[in-house]
Amino acid sequence: MSLDSSGISWTDGTLNSLYGCAECSVGCRLCYAVGRVYRNSHNPKRNGDGCFDGLVKNGRFTGKLLFDPKHLYAVLKKRKSKMIFVNEFSDLLHESLPMELILEHVQVFQAAYWDQFQVLTKRSHRLAALNKSVLAEFGSWPENLWLGVSVCSGAKLEMQRIEHLGATAAAVKWISCEPWVSDMNVPLRKTFPSLRRMLRKNKIAWTVVGGESGPRADTSLMTLDDAQYLLKESKAAGSRVHFKQLGTALAIQLGVYSTRGKGEHRAKGGHPDQWPEGLNIREWPEVSWKSLAGRPQFNPAYNSDQRKRYRLAARQK
């Protein structure tokens, strides 16, 4: 994927300045990024200098990271207003990344005021430190930076990310409940009957919901009840909602699974026209798009020492 295209329904393009990660959630089990990064490591054109070596081993991320500043600064050259998802092959708040490198990303996002940058993390324990650093460095969060957390189940470890996000001063806060893995013993409506209050309290502007895609015989189920509850509670809390996909298991359960068809990836959960009533809804938060007219060109200087230090960074905590 690139800045100009994406197979993700809720964004226009992807900015991949980082590669590599490590499992930290139930939602990481069938991460598609592992396979993509592994293929890059065996592609002579992408890995001629060995920069992708060591990021994946035995089908899993090793925790080592690669930073490619060329992709980060490419957004300053494409002056067309887009929604851009940041780092589908990594996590901007990964433990191995120093705060100065994260702030460098924020600086670029602020400079590319014509785009909307969608950041998503599972490392919400770093949000407090990031919030403090952003306010100290820039005075406020860039209006065009949507700060989000992945919440993949009703487990306390997952749900507390919403509280961590709410404690920041980010201009737009959102959650991605994808891939959502349901508890087969207790529905979410019983586990978290006060979900709407949690979302309202933490000022969540947008909720994305989707089931897990993967092999037919090894994919976790997002129950229809959980999906409907997540959408209902989010709407009641004043959030915009975006339903991405049923996921393989729910699509099979509802009899709409197929690997054929044009447009939407049917294997990820059927075509939207086949979804149960109330699920086919795709909204985005209300944001302010800054006009390009009269704005000065801006190209922040990039420290050559940082380039040498991070260009092929492969660090493990």
Domain layout of the chain by residue ranges = 69-287
Specify the CATH architecture of the domain 69-287. Answer: Alpha-Beta Horseshoe (3.80)
Listed as ranges, residues in the chain with pLDDT below 70 are 1, 261-266, 293-317
CA 317 – CA 310 distance, rounded (Å): 15
What pLDDT is attached to residue 265? 63
SS3 content of the chain, % helix, strand, coil (to 5): 35, 15, 50
Within 8 A by CB and 6+ apart from 145, the residues are: 106, 109, 110, 117, 119, 170, 171, 172
What pLDDT is attached to residue 149? 98
- Name the DSSP class of 2: B
Residue pair 202/233 in contact (Cβ under 8 Å)? The answer is no
Neighbours of 272 (CB within 10 A): 17
Neighbours of 79 (CB within 10 A): 12
Residue pLDDT, tens place only, 265-289: 667 787 888 899 899 999 999 998 9
